[in-house]
Amino acid sequence: MTQLLRAFGETAILTWDTLRFAVRRPLELGAILEQMFRLGVRSLPLVGLTAVFTGAVMGLQVSYTLSAYGARLYVGSFVSVAVVKELGPVLTAVMIAARVGAGITAELGSMAVTEQIDALRALGASPVKKLVVPRMVALIVMLPLLTVLADMLGVLGGLYVATAEIGQAPEYYWAKVREVLTIGDLVSGTGKTFFFAYFIGIIACVNGLGVRGGATGVGRATTNTVVAAAIAIFISNFFLAKLFLFLQTTFGGGLW
């Protein structure tokens, strides 16, 4: 219990420090762009591969399940809603937590055990400004973009199964996708990823900056980051889904 409270306290302090330094000049635009490339662009193959096969498997399972009810023509409807609202955002976030979250923790942890972070402080520079802010900003910008790409590829994976396995016309598949998807679905699915990005980034940075015990400590912190980030994603997804469903229900005739 004490360790949990300490972790929450460290997370809250680092969050506040990150917000303070994020708006303080000079802006680390070069470092932010570099991290956007490293954390986002280099994750494209992993995210894309996961999304395509998730959509394909979803289409395959749904088509055979719906065949028992004579409703195989609605594959596009089921796949698009499932991918855009849940599978795309959650799986993309989990993949980024595994690849990027672990990488951030390992990188910062290595700097901590080799006293590079102490050297930054000795030079009068803030580790939060130089190391944490660029990674947090890059994650919050890139994860929603990766999620949109994953949604598109997931729906395309379902299209392949619909056309190759059950002989459905591509035009009919897209008609069902357009019929069922709304702006609210896109907003709710993508909107959750801003929170997921925060959880991944802040957990990775807290664990990385707090590494002790050499290489063993780095490995332990990396494992803790992946596990804690995945748990945070799954738990927050439930409450965020309820929040966005409430907003869709309340403002269904307006912005949604």
143, 93 Cβ separation under 8 angstroms: yes
Band (256; pLDDT cuts 50, 70, 90): low
Q: Distance between alpha carbon 202 and the CA centroid of its chain, in Å?
A: 13
pLDDT for res 210: 87
Q: Is residue 125 predicted with pLDDT exceeding 90?
A: no
pLDDT for res 10: 86
Q: Which pTM value belongs to this model?
A: 0.92
Distances in Å between the Cα of 100 and the Cα atoms of 30, 44, 108, 190 are 19, 12, 12, 19
Q: What tens digit of pLDDT does each residue of 202-250 get? A: 999 999 998 887 888 898 999 999 999 999 999 999 999 999 888 888 8
Q: Is residue 148 predicted with pLDDT exceeding 80?
A: yes
Tokens of 38: 């490293």
Q: What tens digit of pLDDT does each residue of 7-60 get? A: 888 889 999 999 998 888 888 889 999 999 999 999 999 999 999 999 999 998
DSSP notation for 180-202? H--HHHHHHHHHHHHHHHHHHHH
Q: Is residue 196 predicted with pLDDT exceeding 60?
A: yes
Return the number of other C-beta atoms located less than 10 Å from residue 101's C-beta.
29
For residues 170-199, average pLDDT: 92
* Cα separation, 111 vs 31, whole angstroms: 17
For residues 177-199, average pLDDT: 92
Return the number of other C-beta atoms located less than 10 Å from residue 194's C-beta.
15
